[in-house]
């Protein structure tokens, strides 16, 4: 894929974040999400790609825009698969809490796992612990292997886990092993990325979250030379049938990085909506200006760019917001 595409993707996440950021703390998670979806979809029309949404806002009959299978972009560019999360953490925006993001992941056609919105079991680590994890191993065994790889004691490690009743056993096992725990209310994409960014202080992600978020996070980890292992967790026969329709005949199979994101030409862009561990949120300033903080990465080159942008809202293209 062309290097210029990476910066085009940042414009897409910036547009979504600028639109959604207006809704911070107003208690309207649906409104925050819709504003981001509208802006992101309009922004995609300006990007020179022949894109297919494989991870989006839902099925075609559930989502009017950015639905699974929708074609986006100018249609005269390179063919790519796209995974989007216009607002990763709608509750976080609605409540004005940290770590809400706008996210886009892109890979060459057929390069991303085509997964519906069901649960996925995950374990994720950064570069130093790559090759040391095993989703089927006990939590204590994984923590010991990660600690050894990173030259730490297990008691030095921080495991990040979604604060959900379904994770009581995992949390108990982490405590028993002696590691520290960071519980989060939402946003396991940012949590997975944090395992591969040294300054966050997070060493490993455990738990069950959304499959779409898993594919998106795996793309980011591919760019950061980290690792994720995962397994789909359909809860009923209907979800199993949906997986088969999407070409996944064995949902119990352990998914490695190449199953989630194949090849080495993936790209990932993310813009902060609210302040977080990874990025600052949108700030609206005097003079019809706004400031955004973004991250864009490319797996093929290993380039990681943090972008601090000032936007003149009175001069921005119409896709940033409705007039």
Tens-digit pLDDT string for the chain (323 aa): 566 898 899 999 999 999 999 999 999 999 999 999 999 999 999 999 999 999 999 877 777 899 989 999 988 888 999 999 999 999 999 999 999 999 999 999 999 998 888 999 999 999 999 999 999 999 999 999 999 999 999 999 999 999 999 999 999 999 999 999 999 998 889 999 999 998 899 999 999 999 999 999 999 999 999 999 999 999 998 888 888 888 888 888 999 999 999 988 999 999 999 999 889 999 999 989 999 999 999 999 999 999 999 999 887 665 555 44
**Exposed / middle / buried, residue 219 (Cβ in 10 Å: 0-12, 13-18, 19+):** buried
Inter-CA distances, 282 with 18, 30, 87, 177, 197, Å? 6, 19, 13, 39, 21
Structure tokens belonging to residue 190 = 């940012």
- Where does residue 283 rank: exposed (0-12), middle (13-18), buried (19+ CB within 10 A)? middle
Q: Tell me the whole-structure pTM to 2 decimals.
A: 0.92
- 272: which 2 tokens? 């902060």
Binding residues: 33, 57, 85, 88-90, 119, 164-166, 186-188, 210, 213
Domains and CATH numbers, the chain: 4-110+266-320 (3.30.540.10), 119-260 (3.40.190.90)
Structure tokens at 163: 């604060």
Instruction: Give the per-residue pLDDT at 323.
Output: 41
Read off the tokens for 91: 């509750």
Beta carbons of 300 and 223 less than 8 angstroms apart: no
- Give the span between the Cα atoms of 255 and 195, in whole angstroms: 19
- Residue pair 35/320 in contact (Cβ under 8 Å)? The answer is no
**Which residue ranges are tagged as binding site for Mn(2+)?**
33, 57, 85, 88, 213
Please check whether residue 72 is in contact with residue 101, taking contact to mean a CB–CB distance below 8 angstroms: no
Annotated binding site for substrate: which residue ranges?
Answer: 88-90, 119, 164-166, 186-188, 210
The pLDDT score that the predictor gives to residue 320 is: 57
- Please give the sequence-ordered ranges of beta strands (E in DSSP) within the chain, or none if there are none: 49-55, 71-72, 78-88, 101-108, 119-125, 158-162, 180-184, 204-210, 227-233, 267-272, 283-285, 289-298, 303-312
Q: What is the rounded (10 degree) CA torsion for 141, 157, 192, 267?
A: -100
User: If you search the block for the tokens 């989703």, which residue do you land on?
Assistant: 135
- Length of the chain, in residues: 323
**Residue 317 confidence (pLDDT):** 65
């Amino acid at each position: 894929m062309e290097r210029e595409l990476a910066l085009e993707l940042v414009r897409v996440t910036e547009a979504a974040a600028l639109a959604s950021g207006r809704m911070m703390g107003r208690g309207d998670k649906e409104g925050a999400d819709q504003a981001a979806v509208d802006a992101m979809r309009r922004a995609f029309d300006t990007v020179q790609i022949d894109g297919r949404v494989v991870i989006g806002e839902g099925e075609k009959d559930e989502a009017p825009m950015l639905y699974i299978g929708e074609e986006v972009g100018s249609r005269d560019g390179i063919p790519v698969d796209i995974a989007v999360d216009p607002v990763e953490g709608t509750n976080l925006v609605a409540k004005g809490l940290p770590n809400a993001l706008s996210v886009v992941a892109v890979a060459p056609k057929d390069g991303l796992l085509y997964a519906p919105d069901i649960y996925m079991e995950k374990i994720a680590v950064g570069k130093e612990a790559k090759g040391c994890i095993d989703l089927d191993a006990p939590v204590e065994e994984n923590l010991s292997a990660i600690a050894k790889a990173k030259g730490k004691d297990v008691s030095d490690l921080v495991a990040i886990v979604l604060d959900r009743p379904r994770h009581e056993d995992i949390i108990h096992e982490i405590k028993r092993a002696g590691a520290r725990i960071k519980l989060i209310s939402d946003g396991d994409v940012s949590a997975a990325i944090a395992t591969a960014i040294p300054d966050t202080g997070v060493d490993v992600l455990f738990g069950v979250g959304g499959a779409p978020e898993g594919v998106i996070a795996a793309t980011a980890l591919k760019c950061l030379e980290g690792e994720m292992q995962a397994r789909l967790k359909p809860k009923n026969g209907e979800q199993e049938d949906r997986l088969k329709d999407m070409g996944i005949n064995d949902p119990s199979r352990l998914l490695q990085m190449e199953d989630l994101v194949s090849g080495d030409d993936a790209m990932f862009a993310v813009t902060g909506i609210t302040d977080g561990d990874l990025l600052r949120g949108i700030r609206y300033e005097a003079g019809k200006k706004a400031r955004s903080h973004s991250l864009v990465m490319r797996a093929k080159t290993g380039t990681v760019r943090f972008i601090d942008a000032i936007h003149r809202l009175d001069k921005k293209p119409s896709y940033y917001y409705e007039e």
